[in-house]
Amino acid sequence: MSEEGPLSEAPEVDEARGHRQAPQVDLHGREGHTLSAAESARIPAVGEGWFEQPSNINKIIWALVAVCVASVGADLFSLYHKHGHYGFQEWIGFDAFYGFVSCVLLVLVAKQLRKVSMRDENYYD
Amino acid sequence: MTEGAALIDGGARLAAMLPPGWIMMLGALVVPLLRGPVRQGWMLALPVLGLFQMLALPLGSEMSATFFAYELELLRFDSIARAFGLVFHSAAILSVVYAMKNDSALEGSAALVYSGSAISAVFAGDLITLFICWELTAVSSVFLIWASGNERANRSGMRYLIVQVGSGVLLLAGTIIHYAETGSLAFDHLGLVGFGTGLIFVAFGIKAAFPFLHNWLQDAYPNATVTGTVFLSAFTTKLAIYALARGFAGTEILIPIGAVMAVFPIFYAVIENDLRRVLAYGLNNQLGYMVVGVGIGTEFALNGTVAHVVAHVIYKGLLFMSMGAVLYRVGTVKASELGGLYKSMPITTLLCIVGAASISAPLTGGFVSKSMIVSAAAEEHYTVVFLVLLLASAGAFLYLGIKVCFFAFFGQDRGFRVKEAPLNMLIAMGGAAALCLGIGMFPGTLYGLLPYPVDYVPYTVSHVVTILQLLLFSVLAFAFLRKAGLYPPELRSTLLDSDWIYRRMLPWINDGLAFAYNRAVDRGLGPARGLLSQVMSTVERIHRPDGVLGNPWPTGATTLWAAIMLFALLLLSY
Amino acid sequence: MTFLSNVAGLWNYWAVITLMMIGLYIMISRGNLVKKLMGMNIFQVSVIMLYVSMGKVAGGTPPILIEGAEDVAYSNPLPHVLMLTAIVVGVATTAVGLALVVRVKEAYGTVEEDEVVAIDQATDREEAAAARAAEAAHGEGA
Amino acid sequence: MSEHFPALQVLLPVLTAPLCLLLRHPTLVRVLSLAVTVGCLGISLALMEQAREVGTVVYEFGNWPRPLGIEYAVDTTNAFVLVIVSMIAAVVLPIGCRNSQVPEGREYLFYSAFLLCFGGLLGVAITGDVFNIFVFLEISSLATYILIAMGRDRRAIMAAYSYLIVGTIGATFLLIGIGLLYQMTGTLNIADLAVRLEDVKETRTVIVAFAFAMVGISIKLAVLPLHHWLPNAYTHAPPVVSAFLSATATKVAYYLMLRFIYTILGAGFVFDVLQFDVILTPLSLAAMFIGSLAAIYQTDFKRLLAYSSIAQIGYMTLGLSLNSELGAAAGIVHLFNHALMKGGLFLVAGCVLLRVGSTAIVDMRGLGSRMPLTASALVIAGLGMIGVPGTVGFVSKWALVSAALDQQAWQITVLILLSSLLALVYVWRLIEVMYLTEAPEGAERREAPPLYLIPTWILVLASVYFGFNTESTLGVARAAAHQLLGGAG
């Protein structure tokens, strides 16, 4: 498959709703499954999905924060017996902290890696 | 109907005489002769039949054959082999269901031979049998890559084949040397004790994708067909883990190797754009856990390794299946081009989330298996390794699970409106998801299959909460980085990895040497080269059909030769 | 034994060897297919003579049983018998050979080996050239 | 009945041949000869069983005891050769004389010639009398000349003629050798010869006898400088004949060489006193390389196969020249394995000739899609020629390499492996042409008929089967070599 072709050639079935149909890449040249107009209509338009509403996203994030706080809170108020092989594992919120920091670090390091190792998509061709 | 039943009965009796895996390998040969639903049924029947056949074997069964002077142990049925056999069969069944609509006979046969040979390898009791199966997996699996039919896949497949066959050659060489050193071909615990076992170790290491030996994986898997990658993800590397666990359990060097393996692919996974390649990096990262488990080598650690193999094959298969479905429907799995597919493919989305969660979340397979390895590291006081694995857990969950789900199904809607994945794919994914959850919720069954008795209890409040903290804050970190604009954007790109060494550096060196050589030749080695080409052309000239040696002489000449030879014999004897 | 008695005492072998060499030489040197067959015949005859002469027992009579006679030395009959078979084989071979020569003459119009070989090689070369041409044409097409 | 098996083994085909001439009815003749070959196969297998049980099965004609009468003696070695010959005959004969010059209605000539050739070869292998060897050799050779001349091309006639001249020289040399041996011992019986030669071994007459016999057999075996009858004969003969001859005629000659060296003259005498290996080893190595190189540069598929046969004969004689039990076993097992592979390949050539009308390699372009079954048979048998594990070729190479290593002959091992690479080159050339180039325009896609395909695939599948089941080939070959070299039968 060429890298640009199928996407730019994809037929615009419903421009008003921002829909486009994907080209069929297939398992060996089967006919494409073009959506019927009815099927297409059932799918929310671009920007209208539940997960696309900024307010909903904020709700999700706040819910996430709440759960996070709750999990650390369990540590804080010793709601359960915390058990680990090492002493540091029993610190309050150790895993939370470790998870957060290591993820941020991983991303930041990876961004640096990109400077070294990123090449054009067709570098080897 | 009764005839059919009799046929099935006869077939079953025949099959019962074969070692596990052979049913699939032999049955695969028939696949090209069948068409349509018959073929689909046949392809599904083979692994199911194989599974039943394996389950019917009592533990401790053996089967051997004589090959030259060597006694080959085709079947060694112990608990570790049983666990691998079980998960390989399950993976084969799910993958076949997933690939049901793929009507390429070549791909179907190759996939079955590949699965079958991987299963046979697990039951191999000696190194020769292992080698044969080892090479068979290499040779059969490459067709799953070549079946993509494009230039990129062709070349990638060739690189893959060279690496895999190379691994087999090392295994053979190691086996021969090991045999010369010890006189034994048995595939039991080997340990790094000599040059022979060293070569075998490297051979296993290549297939297990050790750091710097890993890149065939990320190179080849994303280039295979939609269905081929699902097969590939299940067998090759896990076979290598099995081989390591069998041959090199407790070899300490494996621990640092595994630790590095668990971390470095994450960096690549973060910035890689092709989501199937992201999964390949993730595969590599999870192999790291297993290698660490083998390296620790205690019963507990080995149990953890086997358990993690079981869980990992299933959930990684599920993730590859969901990305395959996306590729099938949308035509790309590049993160930079995808988004918002949850609207079009809600079921796939849900199943993909289950797969992502199964990496470590409670109630899933990854939770009950991976934690055994991490705990084993702690129990044996490998503190640094413990912390590294913990970090990798958080990273893997985030950048494999979240990233794949988020960029493919949520994120910015790119407007693709496609159909939900085909039914057979959904069934396969659903089956895999059910297994993930089943293992996670009822770990006792899994633990019962492990090679050693298990007294590990995964579901303690402490464990659940701490893991939840780790995972939740990973997600929080992701949300934070996205909001803060620190998260690297998805870019269409190629990332340099160790494959750069053989795809770029070696050719450069080669070109440089060729240049130097040509210069030297121009300066005065010309005559030598001329001589060489002259020799070559002379060889061709005299062997060509019109040359002296390629052309039948007239009878007189042969007669003369007969006389000459007679004379020579007489001369020699006098 | 002196050289002379060597030659004289074993004269039958010398004769055989001479015949054999003549036969071989004809087969090597003559290009005419019929002459080659004749050379082959001479060569075979030399072997027959070798066998027959080795069956002779000095002072022996032909191996026909003489009734009532004692102390009669008989020549060894076996080589003669063997050679009856060998002669049959030789005749058969010659017949097949001559039949083939007839066919060669029909197919090629000549019975000189060098000419036949030249024709054959020309055919071979044509085939090879056609092969190369086809390959080259294919190479351009691809 | 079963005690007469040795006699029946030869008499059945030899007597059926003239019967065919009388009957003339094409179908009848065909069925009859087929029945005879299948019967011979059964007999040979039974003989093999008997020989493995009792060591040597002896059959005395007219109950005349050794050394007066003619006896047939079957031990493991010649039982193995008998099985090879009759197996190949039974597999290839059903194809009959298609693709040859035989005019319609005169197929009975083909069948009688084939049966004579077949019976002659069996006779050579089975008999325990050296003069009988000569007679049977000539019977089979005369039939062979006729069979070769049946080829479609006029070059077949010339090939037959050349083979006739050269082959007759070979047989006559053998006859001279036999005569000289008789002169020294007064016996023609092989077992008796071996005993009586002990006293007179070092005489010049025996040495000369040895030289004549060896050169004679070498011609029939196509050892390197004496091989030039072979390529033309195999190239231009009808495919079935090529398949049969390549799989059997040289094998029987190899058996003769084994018999003369090990049973009659004794390995100690041949190798230590006469130093036959000094000549045989370099010739074998040269055959391996020159044969393979010539195969690489051929433009005709059948001729390529013929040259590859010369290389393969090199492997067999190399095993012999190693002068060890393992070496002889390697040679014997390669008899069988090569018969399967080369027989299969020549039948593939027959399929190609039938459908494509030529066996030029360029005409085989795109065969992979035009005749998939034929092409895949070629690939599998070709892998065997290279010696890929899982094929009989590998078994042979393995046996040969381990024999060479056993003698500490490292350099020979290396050369064996190198020459395998050459085999890779010429097999790859064929694969490339068949699968990686497109079919010429207008080429029809038509698979060969089952009549051709079934025998071809029987041989090809057997070549895979015996790549795994080594007990019934290598095991027997080792037993045969053990018996030949004087171990307890």
What local confidence, expressed as pLDDT, does residue A22 receive?
A: 60
**Do at least 3 CB pairs under 8 Å connect A with D?**
no
What local confidence, expressed as pLDDT, does residue B46 receive?
A: 92
Nearest CA in chain B to A67: B472
Phi, psi at B338, each rounded to 5°:
-105, 170
In whole angstroms, give the CA distance from residue A27 to residue C124.
Answer: 49
Contact status, residue B190 vs residue B251, Cβ threshold 8 Å = no
**For residue B35, how many C-alpha atoms fall within 13 Å in the half-sphere facing its CB?**
0
Nearest CA in chain D to B573: D274
Which is higher by pLDDT, B340 or D175? D175
Name which of A22, A27, A46 is nearest B226 (Cβ-Cβ). A27
Q: What is the pLDDT along chain B (574 residues), one digit of tens a residue?
A: 466 667 667 666 666 678 888 889 988 988 888 888 899 999 999 999 999 888 888 888 888 877 666 778 888 888 899 999 999 999 999 999 999 888 888 899 999 999 999 999 999 989 989 999 999 999 999 999 988 888 888 888 888 988 898 898 889 888 888 887 788 888 989 888 888 888 899 999 999 999 888 888 888 898 999 999 999 999 999 999 999 999 999 888 999 999 999 998 998 888 888 999 999 999 999 999 999 999 999 999 999 999 999 999 999 999 999 999 999 888 888 888 888 888 889 999 999 999 999 888 888 888 999 989 999 999 888 889 999 999 998 888 877 778 888 888 988 888 788 888 899 999 999 999 999 999 999 998 899 889 898 888 888 888 888 888 888 898 888 888 888 888 888 777 777 777 777 777 777 777 887 777 777 766 665 566 667 777 777 777 777 766 666 666 677 788 888 888 888 888 877 6
Does A67 lie in the same domain as A22?
no
> How far does B219 lie from chain C, in Å, by closest CA?
29
Cα-Cα-Cα-Cα dihedral sign, residues D309, D313, D316, D318: negative
The interface predicted TM-score (ipTM) is 0.74
In whole angstroms, give the CA distance from residue A69 to residue A61.
Answer: 12
Split at pLDDT 50, 70, 90, the class of D65 is confident
Split at pLDDT 50, 70, 90, the class of A29 is very low
Does A58 lie in the same domain as A112?
yes
User: Among residues B173, B96, B142, which one has the least CA distance to residue B425?
Assistant: B96
Return the SS3 of D389.
coil
Q: Which two tokens stand for residue D23?
A: 């009957």
Nearest CA in chain B to D208: B570
User: Among residues C19, D166, C117, which one has the least CA distance to residue B559?
Assistant: D166
In whole angstroms, give the CA distance from residue D489 to residue D481.
Answer: 10
Phi, psi at C32, each rounded to 5°:
-75, 125
Residue B81 to residues B91, B310, D426, Cα–Cα distance (Å)? 15, 12, 42
> How far does B573 lie from chain D, in Å, by closest CA?
5
Phi, psi at A39, each rounded to 5°:
-65, -40
What local confidence, expressed as pLDDT, does residue B97 receive?
A: 94
Which is higher by pLDDT, D204 or B429? B429
Split at pLDDT 50, 70, 90, the class of D141 is very high
Neighbours of A108 (CB within 10 A): 14
What local confidence, expressed as pLDDT, does residue A14 receive?
A: 53
> Does residue B479 belong to the interface with chain A, where contact is any CB pair within 8 Å?
yes
Split at pLDDT 50, 70, 90, the class of C56 is confident
In whole angstroms, give the CA distance from residue B559 to residue B472.
Answer: 92
C-alpha dihedral, D291 to D296 to D298 to D303, nearest 10° = 50
- How many domains is chain A built from? 2
Among C53-57, D232-236, D331-335, D426-430, which stretch is predicted with the lowest mean pLDDT?
A: C53-57
Among chain D, residues having any CB pair with chain C shorter than 8 Å are 131, 134-135, 138, 142, 145-146, 149, 154-155, 157-158, 160-161, 164-165, 168-169, 172, 175-176, 179, 182-183, 299-300, 360-363, 365, 437-438, 440
What is the 8-class DSSP label of residue C70? -
* Whether pLDDT at D445 is above 60: yes
Which is higher by pLDDT, B486 or C132? B486
Asked whether the beta carbons of residue C113 and residue B563 sit closer than 8 angstroms, the reply is no
User: Among residues B397, B521, B534, which one has the least CA distance to residue B467?
Assistant: B397
Asked whether the beta carbons of residue B331 and residue A28 sit closer than 8 angstroms, the reply is no
Give contacts of A 57-116 with B, CB under 8 A: 61, 64-65, 67-68, 71-72, 74-75, 80-86, 89, 93-100, 102-104, 106-111, 113-114, 116
In whole angstroms, give the CA distance from residue B399 to residue A107.
Answer: 9
DSSP labels for B437-457? HHHHH-HHHHHHHSSS-----
Q: Which two tokens stand for residue A79?
A: 């709601």
In whole angstroms, give the CA distance from residue B333 to residue B356.
Answer: 16
In whole angstroms, give the CA distance from residue B208 to residue A8.
Answer: 39
Q: Which two tokens stand for residue D446?
A: 């038509």
Split at pLDDT 50, 70, 90, the class of D299 is confident
In whole angstroms, give the CA distance from residue D206 to residue C125.
Answer: 46
Nearest CA in chain B to C33: B555
- State the chains in contact with C (3 or more Cβ–Cβ pairs under 8 Å): B, D
Return the SS3 of B211.
coil
User: Among residues B408, B343, B417, which one has the least CA distance to residue A11?
Assistant: B417
* Whether pLDDT at C132 is above 90: no
User: Among residues D70, D2, D71, D77, which one has the least CA distance to residue D39?
Assistant: D2
Does A69 lie in the same domain as A33?
no
Does A54 lie in the same domain as A29?
no
What local confidence, expressed as pLDDT, does residue D143 receive?
A: 93
Q: Which residues of D touch C85 (CB under 8 A)?
A: 131, 135
Q: Which residues of D touch B134 (CB under 8 A)?
A: none
Which is higher by pLDDT, B296 or A77? B296
Q: What domains can you pick out in chain C, each with its CATH number?
A: 3-111 (1.10.287)
Return the SS3 of C140.
helix
What local confidence, expressed as pLDDT, does residue B256 receive?
A: 92
Asked whether the beta carbons of residue C131 and residue D299 sit closer than 8 angstroms, the reply is yes
Asked whether the beta carbons of residue B554 and residue C114 sit closer than 8 angstroms, the reply is yes
CB neighbour list of residue B515: distance below 8 Å, 6 or more residues apart = none
User: Among residues D277, D392, D394, which one has the least CA distance to residue D327?
Assistant: D277
Q: Which two tokens stand for residue B160?
A: 């893959």
- Extents of the domains making up chain D: 276-489
Q: What is the mean pLDDT of chain A?
A: 73
Contact status, residue C123 vs residue D155, Cβ threshold 8 Å = yes
Asked whether the beta carbons of residue B554 and residue C125 sit closer than 8 angstroms, the reply is no
Nearest CA in chain C to D439: C138
* Whether pLDDT at A27 is above 70: no
User: Among residues D363, D369, D331, which one has the least CA distance to residue D473?
Assistant: D331
User: Among residues B256, B336, B321, which one has the least CA distance to residue B288?
Assistant: B256
Cα-Cα-Cα-Cα dihedral sign, residues C10, C11, C12, C13: positive
Asked whether the beta carbons of residue C116 and residue D160 sit closer than 8 angstroms, the reply is no
Neighbours of C7 (CB within 10 A): 12
Contact status, residue B240 vs residue B153, Cβ threshold 8 Å = no
The structure tokens 């390898």 sit at B121
In whole angstroms, give the CA distance from residue A103 to residue B480.
Answer: 11
Split at pLDDT 50, 70, 90, the class of C142 is very low
- State the chains in contact with D (3 or more Cβ–Cβ pairs under 8 Å): B, C
Report the Cα B92 to chain-centroid distance in Å: 13
Q: How many contacts (CB atoms, under 8 Å) link C and D?
A: 90
Neighbours of B442 (CB within 10 A): 11
What local confidence, expressed as pLDDT, does residue B497 receive?
A: 78
Structural domain includes residue A123: no
In whole angstroms, give the CA distance from residue A11 to residue A32.
Answer: 12
CA R_g for chain B: 27
Q: Which residues of A touch B469 (CB under 8 A)?
A: 68, 71-72, 75, 93, 95-96, 99
Name which of D211, D212, D303 is nearest B545 (Cβ-Cβ). D303
Q: Which residues of D touch C47 (CB under 8 A)?
A: 172, 175-176, 179
Asked whether the beta carbons of residue D166 and residue B574 sit closer than 8 angstroms, the reply is no
* Whether pLDDT at A4 is above 50: no
Name which of C28, C114, C124 is nearest B560 (Cβ-Cβ). C28
Name which of C24, C79, C100 is nearest D157 (Cβ-Cβ). C100
Phi, psi at B240, each rounded to 5°:
-65, -40
Contact status, residue D440 vs residue D366, Cβ threshold 8 Å = yes
* Whether pLDDT at D488 is above 60: no
**For residue B467, how many C-alpha atoms fall within 13 Å in the half-sphere facing its CB?**
26
Does A113 lie in the same domain as A54?
yes
**Do at least 3 CB pairs under 8 Å connect B with C?**
yes
Nearest CA in chain D to C35: D165
Phi, psi at B71, each rounded to 5°:
-90, 115
Q: Residue A113 is part of which domain span?
A: 50-117
What is the 8-class DSSP label of residue B225? -
Q: Which two tokens stand for residue D80?
A: 């193995």
Identity of the highest mean pLDDT range in B201-205, C79-83, D420-424: B201-205
Does A64 lie in the same domain as A36?
no
Asked whether the beta carbons of residue D179 and residue C79 sit closer than 8 angstroms, the reply is yes
Give contacts of C 58-77 with D, CB under 8 A: none
- In a mutagenesis test of the D interface, which of B26, B143, B573, B574 is the best target, namely the one with the most D β-carbons within 10 Å? B573
Does A60 lie in the same domain as A107?
yes
Give contacts of B 88-117 with D, CB under 8 A: none
User: Among residues D457, D463, D436, D191, which one has the least CA distance to residue D333?
Assistant: D463
Structural domain includes residue A124: no
Name which of C27, C116, C142 is nearest D165 (Cβ-Cβ). C27
Asked whether the beta carbons of residue D166 and residue B559 sit closer than 8 angstroms, the reply is yes
User: Would you call B101 exposed, middle or buried from its count of C-beta atoms within 10 A (0-12, 13-18, 19+)?
Assistant: middle
Contact status, residue B100 vs residue B44, Cβ threshold 8 Å = yes
Contact status, residue D107 vs residue D127, Cβ threshold 8 Å = no
User: Among residues B222, B8, B237, which one has the least CA distance to residue B114?
Assistant: B237
Nearest CA in chain C to B558: C28
> How far does D37 lie from chain B, in Å, by closest CA?
31
Asked whether the beta carbons of residue C89 and residue D182 sit closer than 8 angstroms, the reply is no
* Whether pLDDT at C91 is above 90: yes
What local confidence, expressed as pLDDT, does residue A30 receive?
A: 41
In whole angstroms, give the CA distance from residue D117 to residue D142.
Answer: 8
What local confidence, expressed as pLDDT, does residue B389 receive?
A: 92
Q: Each residue of D316-362: pLDDT tens digit?
A: 999 999 888 888 999 999 999 999 999 999 999 998 888 888 888 88
Contact status, residue D204 vs residue B555, Cβ threshold 8 Å = no
What local confidence, expressed as pLDDT, does residue B30 receive?
A: 86
Asked whether the beta carbons of residue B545 and residue C128 sit closer than 8 angstroms, the reply is yes
